[in-house]
Chain A
Amino acid sequence: MLRKLSARGLALAILVGSSIPAAASPTMIRLGYPSCAACHVSPQGAGLLTDYGKGIDLAQSIFVREYNPDPQAPPRRFRQDVRALLGYQYTSGLLPAHDGTASTDAQVWHRAAAWLTPQQRLSSIILVDGWPDDSTKVSADPKLVVTKAVWEYRPKDGLELVVGRDSLPSGLENADHQRELRRLIARGARSYPTQAKLFWWTDRVQVTPYVFGPGGDEAKVDRQYGAGALAGLVTLQQHAVIGLSARAARSEVTNDRRVGMYARLGFGKWGILTEHDRIDRSPRGVDGAAPHGYAGLTQIFVATPEWLVLSLGAEYVSLDGTGTYTYRLLPSAQIRVSDKLTFVVGQKDRYTDPDRAHGRSFTVQLFVKTS
Chain B
Amino acid sequence: MIARRPLRRTVAVVVATMSLCAVQASSSHRIEKATVTVLCPLTVGGSFEAKTTALTGDLTVQAGSPDGVRGTFVADLRQLETGISLRDRHLRQNYLEVDKGPAFAVAALEKIRIDNWNGAGRFRGLLTLHGQQREISGTATVTPDRRGFLVEAVFPLKISDFQIPPPTYLGVGVKDTIEVKVKMLASAL
Contacts and interface: CB of A to CB of B under 8 A. Distances in A.
A268 B44 contact: no
Interface string B21-63: 0000000000000000001011011111101000000000000
B170 A69 contact: yes
Nearest to A61: B86
A279 to B, nearest CB: 31
Contacts of B165: none
A35 B85 contact: no
Contacts of B82: 31
Interface stretch (A49-57, A95-103, A122-130, A312-320): A49-57
Nearest to A68: B170
B44 A38 contact: yes
Q: Which of B39, B82, B171 has the most CB of A within 10 A?
A: B171
B170 A51 contact: yes
Contacts of A218: none
A287 interface: no
A54 B86 CA distance: 13
Given A56-B84, A59-B86, A306-B84, A158 B45 contact: yes
Q: Which of B41, B45, B51, B169 has the most CB of A within 10 A?
A: B45
A119 interface: no
A32 B170 contact: no
A55 B169 contact: yes
B151 to A, nearest CB: 19
B45 A31 contact: no
Contact of A59 (B41, B42, B45, B84): B84
Contacts of A327: none
B1 to A, nearest CB: 38
A37 B172 CA distance: 11
B87 interface: yes
A275 B169 CA distance: 33
Contact of B171 (A35, A52, A60, A158): A52
A64 B85 contact: yes
Given A31-B82, A203-B46, 19 more contacts: A30-B83, A31-B84, A34-B45, A34-B46, A35-B45, A35-B46, A37-B45, A38-B172, A50-B171, A52-B169, A52-B171, A60-B84, A64-B85, A67-B170, A158-B45, A202-B45, A203-B41, A269-B83, A306-B83
- The 5 A-B pairs of least Cβ separation, nearest first, read A59-B86, A51-B170, A52-B172, A52-B170, A32-B47
Interface of A: 30-35, 37-38, 50-52, 54-56, 58-60, 64, 66-67, 69, 157-158, 201-203, 237-238, 268-269, 306
Interface of B: 39, 41-42, 44-49, 51, 82-87, 169-172
21 contacts: A31-B84, A32-B48, A32-B49, A35-B46, A37-B44, A38-B44, A38-B46, A51-B170, A55-B169, A55-B170, A59-B85, A64-B85, A64-B86, A67-B170, A202-B45, A203-B46, A203-B47, A237-B47, A306-B83, A306-B84, A306-B85
